[in-house]
Structure formats: structure tokens, C-alpha cells
A and B are shown apart, each in its own frame.
Chain A
């Protein structure tokens, strides 16, 4: 297991997440894709900490905070999506496009 193996895994997960955000229409699914992206971030951070950082620490600290923020983000975003569902009876983002142009 070399560093670049882990980096490639991370890049692949990140690209999958990007694809998910770009290709999905359900808000919850977009949110899941974002979680994939954040996971790619944490993998990379931990790998850099383990392979490169003399102190071995910063990457792990990053990961702790990313996980925290990701959890908070999901909570808040779900609340907003629930409201979307109440107001429009849908969770599809392309049905919420009254503002454009």
C-alpha cells in the first residue's frame, strides 16, 4: 500500500461524489453524494498525516473536524429539505426552480 494508492482511492471517491451531485435530482441523494466527497477528503487527510506529516497530527485533526461539520451539515440540510417537502410536496431539486434567469 503506497500513498498514491490511497490518493487514487480518494480521488475516485471524490469523482463519484461529484458525479452524484451533478447527476442526481433528489435533494437527499445529492446530500449523500456530498458525503462521499467529504469521505474522500478525510481519506486523503489521514493518508497525508500518516505518510508525510512529521508530526502525524494535522491530517487527523482535519478529519475530526470534517466529520463533525459533515454531521452538522446533514442535520441542517435535512431540516431544510423537509421544509421543501412540506412546501412543495417534493424533494426533487429541479421542481424548485421558480427563480431563474
Chain B
């Protein structure tokens, strides 16, 4: 009923105003647990970003058969470029490769020692996803064995980085799930404690003829307000903290791949606020329902 909603809301505000320290403590607890949650959302997002950044620099070198013609090379390049996981393909002629090689060993004066360029032409293949490097390398080696002399990639280090990236991704996901549950538990329990402290009041309300629905209303709205307030406080904290922190890091290590994407950050903040609101409401609902059914027990057989 509309009239009731209005009554519930005004009751909720009056009650919050008069509860004093208990409500403040609950809201603070809710805020802190949401901050922990938010910090780990931000962390996970950044870990994923870092993992992607690191792995995106992994590349495959495809060393070509000396016998390939220019058009064959062109076709082959197109074919690789069209693979879904490949971002770009660059042709490195053996001359350029030899120059680079020589530059790496400048002091050896290789030109004096080695008359002819011993290196082959090659493709430098960049991938979207570092974790597919190994797969693609294997594929190219098998499929184009006729054209290809050798396929190299950053090897063991790549594997380890892949591992880290996978860790960040799946570990992060697991953490988020775990932390959501922990946050849920802490917030619901905190609200439950505040409701339990008011069991006497609930009993009196039942005695003067209030229905469960009527008692539940204001409590649920109180829970919602507590959740939203706690969530809001958490988001403000996270916002300023991240801004400060990210700016500091960026100043110290300019190339550090932090998440600065507004949409991504905003969606994290939205999740935190929403979680606060949902858990506050849910917590109040569960708590008052349990208190009511407990009070119901008081009408003894």
C-alpha cells in the first residue's frame, strides 16, 4: 500500500535518528567491509590489466624458408593476419634482422667474421592474447612446415607469464566470489545484531497488534538506508583513495599499466554501492524475519 510505504519511510528515518551510536557503528562496519570488497575489485581489475599488458608484448617469430617467393610471403602473411587471435604481422627481412643482430653484438664486428648474412627472413606475429602464443606457434609450425624453417617464441618465460596471467584472472574471479560471500555475511550479521538488540521493541509491537508486514517495513527500509549509506561512504573512500594512489604510482612508474578506464572504474563503484544496498535490505529482511519468527515462538503451546 502506498500509504504504508510513506509511513515505513518516515518511521525508518525517525528510528535511525534515535538509534545513535549503534547505527553509526553498523554503517561503519558495512562501509569497511565494502571498502575491502572494492579494494579487491580494483586490485583484480588492475592485475588483469597488468597480466594483459605483460602478455600482450609476447610475440611469435616465424623464420621463413629461403626459397619462398615474394608473393608466397605476401599470401602467407595475409593468412596469418587473418587468424582470429593474431593482432598484427610484421615482415622482417633477413637484412634488417642481420642489422639488428649485428647491433646486439656490436663489439664482435661480425661483418669481419661472417661474410654472408646467415639469418632468414621472418614474421613478427603479435597476438591479442598472450596465452595463445604457444598454441598459435605450434599451429603455424605444423600447418606451414613447408614454408617455415623454425617458429620461436619467448619460451619458458612466456609460459610463466601466462601462468601468472591465468592466476590473476581465475584467482581474481575466485577472490571476488569469496569476498562477495564474506561481505554478505558480515553485513547481514551486522544488521542482524542491530535488529536483535531491538527484539524487545519487536515484541511490544506484536503485543499491540502490529502485523509482521507492518513491523518489517521500517526495518527493511532502515537496512536499505544503512546499506546505501555504508556503500556511499565506501565508494567515496575508494574513489579518492584510488585517484591518489593511482596518480602516485603513475608518477613513480610511468609505464605501469593501471586501470584508468572511467567506465570500468565506475562500474566497480556501482557494484560496491549496489552490493551495499542489496545486502543492507536483505540483511534487514532476514534479521527481522528471524526475530519475528522467534517472537512468534513466544506464543507458546
Report whether chain A binds chain B: no
- Chain A interface (Cβ < 8 Å from any Cβ of B): none
- Chain B interface (Cβ < 8 Å from any Cβ of A): none
